[in-house]
Structure 1
Amino acid sequence: MNQRIVHCLLIVVLLCSACAAKRKAVIGSNSNPGISSREAHNNNEQLERERNAAIQNFVPYTAAAYIQRFKAIAVQEMNLYGIPASITLAQGMFESGFGNGSLAKVANNHFGIKCTSDWQGRSYYKNDDRENDCFRVYDNPEDSFRDHSNFLKRKRYAALFELDKNDYESWAYGLKAAGYATNPKYPELLISTIQKYHLEQYDRPEGEVQKIKREDRVLTEINSTINKPAQDTLSKSTPDQRLYAVRQGDTLYSISRRFGITVDELKTLNHLIADTVKIGQLLTVVK
């Protein structure tokens, strides 16, 4: 009983902290600065009516349930872009209050990403930096995680992608230095969350060749967007990938060694559950 009380108090603290922490970069600019309170209210009511079944059936997350639910997408994004899975999970937990905040429940928005002028999706309005701030709405939480990765692929965060993808401490301080958050204790909050829930276990090191290839790919993507009109960050396209056809004698281990990745990374990239592959099966590997 005491543990349950402590856990409930921790959720309340995280929800309050998420509201209090001003997330300078993620906040962005409101794409509907002139919307009235009535319009915002009507918009939110419509969205809540459409998602009433999901909202009514929502089961509050515990820390363990949140990690179990979203560790796979966090690892997948890490393998694609080099953002430590521990950082992604810690930010999601902190920003959304373990996924129990209204923004996460109604809008599937786990990172507090706001609407920008290029956002073409649906919106949800909440008072934040200003009245009726516009937040992005996603079809599912996984889209929020993907949009979080795409959001970080911009010039101000480019240096972070040169860090090792298991160096969560440097990532935490780097996010603050790049202007992601104005809360002076933001790095410590992320690091303490990672260590408390042992999120570093989901991070993976990478070989020198693999790191160089990953850096080149991501930095090329970032550089290609500089001085170009902004595009919707919820991109439906995937990064440059390489397909490999399984040959006789191949195993997941031999394929992973060939392309400089781990078996776990290979399975995550291809949504594999079993450890077996078939001749002719196409597998995606990170270039």
Structure 2
Amino acid sequence: MRKITCALFVIITLASCSARKKVATISSGQARHNNQEIQKEHQAAIGNYPTYTADQYIQRFKKIAIQEMNAYGVPASITLAQGLFESGNGNGDLARIANNHFGIKCTSDWKGKSYYKNDDQVNDCFRVYDNPEDSFRDHSNFLKRKRYASLFELDKNDYMGWANGLKAAGYATNPKYPQLLIAVIEKYNLDQYDRPEGEVQKIKREDRVLTQINQNIGKSVKDSIISQTPTDKLYTVKQGDTLYNISKRFGLTVDELKALNNMADNNIKLGQKLVVVK
């Protein structure tokens, strides 16, 4: 029986992924009006927004995760674990209102509807999907770029290889990202949805996906994943703060606080946002 070393709260404490973000230029009034319209449309379509537990989220979205795995080779366990992290079990505003489960931002080639919320910039632009399945498909497409190419050569049930490979490829800055991802997979037995494939199937899938990745090389494709750390797990440095007193406030050691924020030294500055664990 696997030992689970991380409690459930790791789902909402993953450090932000290292990706370049598109800056949206829109007024607060425009953003608010746009969001209200999007919210009305989705409420009309689904009534009251559903609220998921982790287990309910897994049961709801495991089928599409398996479909994406079979099509592209991303382990279903990896997709589900990332969805749990980034959407707050499907209960975050982006997931509930915009059907955006992986925090994918607008890029210059995005032609669909948009939802605006503060992230790296005020009123950052996020993609709105007609349904959650489109969000899962877009997540697979997001990974089809050169720096993730080697991951598609892994077996599609190698979730440990994928977890470590995503970190090595720069998907997330948190040094503990692979361990956090693996802990959630094993806590909920998500690897039961991963499926092995024969050698011929693997070669055909690799050829198909790597060809698509090669076709994307040279195109203006921007990384667009949202920061994965909810705002209630961020602390803004105030006058007189030190790493020591912040760490004590949130029950951490200084080294743990530095690791969560990928810090090489003890220097902090006024207004800086730090990932914390209560």
TM-score scaled by length of structure 1: 0.71
Are residue 62 (structure 1) and residue 56 (structure 2) matched?
Answer: no
Partners of 1:186 and 1:55 in 2: CA distance: 34
Are residue 127 (structure 1) and residue 118 (structure 2) matched?
Answer: yes
User: Is the partner of 1:134 in helix, strand or coil?
Assistant: strand
Counterpart of 2:21? Answer: 29
Kept after mapping to 2: 8 A contact 1:24/1:180 = yes
Deviation at 1:93, TM superposition (A): 0.7
Partners of 2:195 and 2:43 in 1: CA distance: 39
Counterpart of 1:180? Answer: 171
Counterpart of 1:88? Answer: 79
Counterpart of 1:142? Answer: 133
Kept after mapping to 1: 8 A contact 2:101/2:135 = yes
Aligned residue among 201, 204, 217 for 1:226? 217
Structure 2: gaps of 5 or more residues:
1-6, 225-278
Aligned residue among 38, 52, 70 for 2:43? 52
Structure 1: gaps of 5 or more residues:
1-8, 234-287
Counterpart of 2:108? Answer: 117
Partners of 1:31 and 1:218 in 2: CA distance: 30
User: Is the partner of 2:115 in helix, strand or coil?
Assistant: strand
Letter in 1 for 2:152: F
User: Is the partner of 1:30 in helix, strand or coil?
Assistant: coil
Deviation at 1:52, TM superposition (A): 2.5
Counterpart of 1:252? Answer: none
Partners of 1:55 and 1:176 in 2: CA distance: 36
Counterpart of 2:198? Answer: 207
Kept after mapping to 1: 8 A contact 2:11/2:184 = no
Deviation at 1:230, TM superposition (A): 4.7
Deviation at 1:14, TM superposition (A): 3.5
Counterpart of 1:267? Answer: none
User: Is the partner of 2:36 in helix, strand or coil?
Assistant: helix
Kept after mapping to 1: 8 A contact 2:23/2:121 = no
Q: CA RMSD in A?
A: 2.1
Partners of 2:209 and 2:175 in 1: CA distance: 28
Alpha-carbon displacement from aligned partner over 1:5-27 (angstroms, at most 9, x marks no partner): xxxx947x634x26xx32223xx
Deviation at 1:183, TM superposition (A): 2.0
Residue correspondence of structure 1 range 276-287 to structure 2 within 5 A: none
Counterpart of 2:4? Answer: none
Letter in 1 for 2:76: A
Aligned residue among 8, 11, 19 for 1:14? 11
Are residue 151 (structure 1) and residue 142 (structure 2) matched?
Answer: yes
Counterpart of 1:106? Answer: 97
Identity of aligned residues (%): 71
Counterpart of 1:240? Answer: none
Alpha-carbon displacement from aligned partner over 1:233-272 (angstroms, at most 9, x marks no partner): 9xxxxxxxxxxxxxxxxxxxxxxxxxxxxxxxxxxxxxxx
Partners of 1:71 and 1:23 in 2: CA distance: 23
TM-score scaled by length of structure 2: 0.73
Letter in 2 for 1:40: A
Deviation at 1:56, TM superposition (A): 4.7
Kept after mapping to 2: 8 A contact 1:126/1:132 = yes
Kept after mapping to 1: 8 A contact 2:68/2:137 = yes
Kept after mapping to 2: 8 A contact 1:22/1:129 = no
Partners of 1:210 and 1:49 in 2: CA distance: 44
Partners of 1:181 and 1:69 in 2: CA distance: 26
